[in-house]
Amino acid sequence: MSVLDDIVAGVREDLAVRQARTPLAEVRAQLADVDPARDPMPAFRAPGLSLIAEVKRRSPSKGALADIPDPAALATAYAAGGADAISVLTEERRFSGSLADLYAVRAAVPTPILRKDFIVTEYQLLEARAGGADLALLIVAALDDAALADLYATARGLGLTVLVEVHDEDEVERALAVGTELLGVNARNLKTLEVDPDAFGRLAALVPDGIVKVAESGIGGPSDAGRFAAQGADVALVGEALVKDGDPTSAVAAIRNAGGAR
């Protein structure tokens, strides 16, 4: 079993517990009280490098990264630095996240929010929207073609912007086949946790103009962000470097500025 398979198995177990506690119909009913989703795409398409700043406590590859007792305060610091969107990791077992973090961040900032998780069912998309998320992540490696297409359509029907994540050439083709407008290249292979520093440049060259390209993983600071921007990244998604920085507001601003004037 790969690392990704193990993570998804755990996600499904935790999901079953939540579904037993809160039926699908109840989650769907919660949507009536949620404001319309915010659209991050105009900011992502603007000149220069946009930034998705991530609330991230730990990772399978690095272990504990940062103690984040108040995710709302961290999100507020990110917003002050000019983050174009804020990613909130909600996976519990490997990343120590929760839906409570999503709710806390949503209450604290007006910035578009990405629910970052291993989404494999409609229920999770409804949870995301009910929690005030504006974007959702779909990982191509975790889904077959039918599930990817179905979840993509469901997310768009809910008003969510979908970040479709790829790791290799075949996955780029699969992402393009569902009509994605926001494609993320994760340099970290989720099956082995190895990082390929050349992945973004290689795969971005396969993505047609007009599709917003997001560089994920391997961004340790402004110099890395500038390198990815030069390779065609429109957006950088950064977690570890920001949560470990003592001044997240300045760190956000520095990474955005590394991509050129906006």
Please say if 186 is a catalytic residue: yes
Residue 191 known to be catalytic: no
Which residue is catalytic, options 165, 171, 189, 213? 165
pLDDT score recorded for residue 64: 81
| Residue 162 resides in a domain | yes
Query: pLDDT tens across 80-96, in order?
Result: 999 999 999 999 999 99
Please check whether residue 211 lies inside any domain of the structure: yes
pLDDT at res. 178: 97
Average pLDDT for consecutive 10-residue bins of the chain (262 residues)?
91 96 96 96 96 91 84 97 97 93 98 98 98 98 97 98 97 97 92 86 96 93 93 94 91 89 48
Residue 216 annotated to the active site = yes
Residue 119 in any domain: the answer is: yes
pLDDT reported for residue 262 = 46
What does the pLDDT read at residue 246? 85
Q: Is residue 50 assigned to a domain?
A: yes
User: What is the model's pTM?
Assistant: 0.95
Residues 260 and 262: their CA atoms lie apart, in Å, by 7
262 located within any domain: no
What pLDDT, on a 0 to 100 scale, did the predictor assign at position 195?
Answer: 84
The verdict on residue 157 lying in a domain is yes
Report pLDDT for 65. Answer: 84
Q: Is residue 223 part of a domain?
A: yes
> 71-81 and 99-108 helices cross at what angle (nearest 10)?
50
Choice among 50, 87, 91, 116 that is catalytic = 116
With contact defined as beta carbons under 8 Å apart, do 39 and 112 qualify? Answer: yes
CA distance 176 to 172: 6
Select which of 59, 87, 217, 240 is catalytic: 217
Residue 222 one-letter amino acid: P
Report the CATH number at residue 213.
3.20.20.70
DSSP symbols for 16-66: HHHHHHS-HHHHHHHGGGSPPPP--HHHHHSSS-EEEEEE-SEETTTEE--
Domain region containing 13: 3-257
Domain count along the chain: 1
Does residue 85 fall inside a structural domain?
A: yes
Residue-wise pLDDT for 33-61, tens only, equals: 999 999 999 999 999 999 999 999 988 78
- Confidence (pLDDT) at 205: 95
